[in-house]
Chain A
Amino acid sequence: MATLLFYILAAIVLMAVLLCLTRNNPVHAVLYLVHALFGLALLYFLLGAPMLAAWQVILYAGAIMVLFLFVIMLIDPDLFEKKASRGRFRWLPVGFLSGALLACGGVLIMMDPLAAGGIVRYRLSPRAFGRALFDEYGLAVEILSLILLFAAVGAFHLGRRHKGKEDAS
């Protein structure tokens, strides 16, 4: 049962990503990507890591995708000129994907993935998750966060306003 659900969810994620890549409208693409991220969160939940699933939704669907949407809405003036795609059934892929995700979520809540057996071996409690993150793989996490910090500093440097030059021109 759990294995079957795993493949269904994986198919949903792949479908959502494919649809995301082929959209003309960037906002629609972001929405499909949100579907894919939800699918991933459900996969994490299925594999026994509810904490990771929650963080996936909070960070990726809730923050990073909103930033994507923000940037698209901010920098793409063509968006207003673009003709909205017509067609009676263009809600079908979205409807299908959200419906399938909701159904999978429902099944996941009803059944206990651990008891169903198959690919799920253990459930990760928040405590174990924290231990693994900051104890066992602490060094790797620190290195990654340093890289992110460098990237942030670099972006800040590139985006800095050059006051002197503007005055000269």
Chain B
Amino acid sequence: MNDVLLTIILIVLKLGLVLGTVLTMAAYMVLAERKILGRMQMRYGPNRVGWGGMLQPLADLIKLLSKEDLIPEGADRWIFMLAPAISTATALLAFAVIPFGPSVQLFGRTVPLVICDLDIGVLYLFALSSLAVYGVALGGWASQSKYSLLGGLRAMAQMISYELAMGLAIAPVVMASRSFSLTAVVEAQQTLPNMVRHPLAFLIFLVAVMAESKRIPFDMPEAENELVAGYHTEYSGMRFGMFFVGEYLNLIVLGSMLTVLFLGGWYGPLLPGVCWFLIKVLGVAFFFIWVRGTLPRLRYDQLMAFGWKVLVPLGLLNLLITAAWMIWRG
């Protein structure tokens, strides 16, 4: 009986810890982005609420919760209301398989620092990232607004195209570590991170991830000077907030994917594993913010051509080379 109780306590503890950390991180990621972008554009960014702006996420939350929840006339009510939930839920569910540290000894038993180590973890992540399109697409469609519809359409086309490149970039990593389990993928990188071993796959994955997160060089779905705000034009209050938080959750998910698949996961000198994992994820997030502050937006045809005519052939070539290398080495 004690054993069962301990198992349940451990699961609840892990779930609570991961959810709490991830949601807080997403909230502060918004603040960090605004602050860093501010610095890059020679201004201060939000610095009025709390110590140097530290309570800004809380103030934003209160503001969003107290706004009116508008549903446009003629909108498909249920789909309109559920779409933001889909986009947040798919991002949150992804954390179930991400290993954020090596196993630890707790209450006299070995506890792996991952909620559920699926033996098809890579495919699970991939499936969730392909389902994330639904939130955006349905939100855009259900709003009954032309801007939203165009945003949804763009998001769908973009995410399908870049997912292909993403899959092609993941394949060599899976081949090299001989497993679909994310823990096994990390353990295969103990001596050398995959970033060094598969540099081309890393670059393809990095670009694909940026496109999947719909961030600036690839933010066609919400290009504010053409589409008002794209798929979430008609959303207000907390429903908009859910789209917004979902976007930043997605940023953390994709950062974690990059860390686990290419940056060696929790491995690093001196510091404990979890610290290294966090440092790497935050580093990736900082890189994304930096890119947003630096690069202009692509044109839509450039975006599509780049995905299909550059990334996909490069990914196929890389896959071929890796396979040939593995067969040659035996």
* Residues of A bordering B, CB below 8 Å: 27, 31, 34, 50-51, 54-55, 57-58, 61-63, 66-67, 69-70, 73-74, 80, 84, 90-91, 94, 125-126
Whether A66 contacts B124 by the Cβ 8 Å rule is no
Q: Are A63 and B130 CB-contacts (below 8 A) given A69-B137, A70-B153?
A: yes
Cα A31 to Cα B83 in complex, Å, equals 12
What's the least CB distance linking A156 to chain B, in Å?
13
15 residue pairs bridging A and B, Cβ less than 8 Å apart: A27-B76, A27-B138, A31-B138, A51-B120, A57-B131, A58-B126, A61-B130, A61-B131, A62-B130, A69-B138, A70-B157, A73-B153, A80-B144, A91-B78, A126-B120
Cα A27 to Cα B144 in complex, Å, equals 13
Chain A residues closer than 8 Å to B74, beta-carbon distance = 84
Closest residue of A by beta carbon distance from B137: A69
Closest residue of B by beta carbon distance from A67: B160
Which of A66, A69, A126 has the most C-beta atoms of chain B within 10 angstroms of its own C-beta?
A66
Whether B127 contacts A57 by the Cβ 8 Å rule is yes
**Set B79, B159, B180: member contacting A126, Cβ < 8 A:** B180
Within 8 A of A (CB), among B38-80: 74-79
Cα A66 to Cα B126 in complex, Å, equals 15
Chain A residues closer than 8 Å to B262, beta-carbon distance = none
Closest residue of B by beta carbon distance from A91: B78
Chain B residues closer than 8 Å to A84, beta-carbon distance = 74-77
Within 8 A of A (CB), among B104-157: 119-120, 123-124, 126-127, 130-131, 133-134, 137-138, 141, 144, 149, 152-153, 156-157
Whether A73 contacts B134 by the Cβ 8 Å rule is no
B33 interface hit (Cβ, 8 Å): no
Q: Are A63 and B160 CB-contacts (below 8 A) given A51-B120, A73-B149, A126-B120?
A: yes
Chain B residues closer than 8 Å to A125, beta-carbon distance = 119
Closest residue of B by beta carbon distance from A41: B127
Whether B134 contacts A94 by the Cβ 8 Å rule is no
B222 interface hit (Cβ, 8 Å): no
Whether A66 contacts B127 by the Cβ 8 Å rule is no
Whether B137 contacts A73 by the Cβ 8 Å rule is yes
Chain A residues closer than 8 Å to B130, beta-carbon distance = 57-58, 61-63, 66
Closest residue of B by beta carbon distance from A56: B127
Q: Could you tell me how many residues of chain B have their Cβ less than 8 Å away from some Cβ of chain A? A: 29
- Report the number of A-B residue pairs with Cβ-Cβ less than 8 Å: 72
Chain A residues closer than 8 Å to B131, beta-carbon distance = 57, 61-62
New contact pairs (11) apart from A70-B157, A84-B74, A125-B119, CB-CB < 8 Å: A31-B79, A51-B120, A54-B126, A61-B131, A62-B131, A66-B133, A66-B134, A66-B137, A66-B159, A70-B153, A126-B120
What's the least CB distance linking A82 to chain B, in Å?
10
Closest residue of A by beta carbon distance from B118: A50
What's the least CB distance linking B115 to chain A, in Å?
12
Chain A residues closer than 8 Å to B219, beta-carbon distance = none
Whether A51 contacts B134 by the Cβ 8 Å rule is no
Whether A73 contacts B141 by the Cβ 8 Å rule is yes
Closest residue of B by beta carbon distance from A74: B153
Cα A125 to Cα B78 in complex, Å, equals 39
Whether B156 contacts A58 by the Cβ 8 Å rule is no
Cα A126 to Cα B171 in complex, Å, equals 14
The 4 closest A-B pairs by CB, nearest first: A62-B130, A54-B123, A57-B127, A58-B127
Whether A58 contacts B153 by the Cβ 8 Å rule is no
Cα A144 to Cα B130 in complex, Å, equals 25
**Set A27, A55, A63, A90: member contacting B141, Cβ < 8 A:** A27
Q: Are A73 and B127 CB-contacts (below 8 A) given A66-B137, A126-B120?
A: no
Chain A residues closer than 8 Å to B126, beta-carbon distance = 54, 58
Whether B134 contacts A50 by the Cβ 8 Å rule is no
Chain B residues closer than 8 Å to A70, beta-carbon distance = 137, 153, 156-157, 160
Whether B163 contacts A54 by the Cβ 8 Å rule is no
Closest residue of B by beta carbon distance from A83: B74
Closest residue of A by beta carbon distance from B80: A84
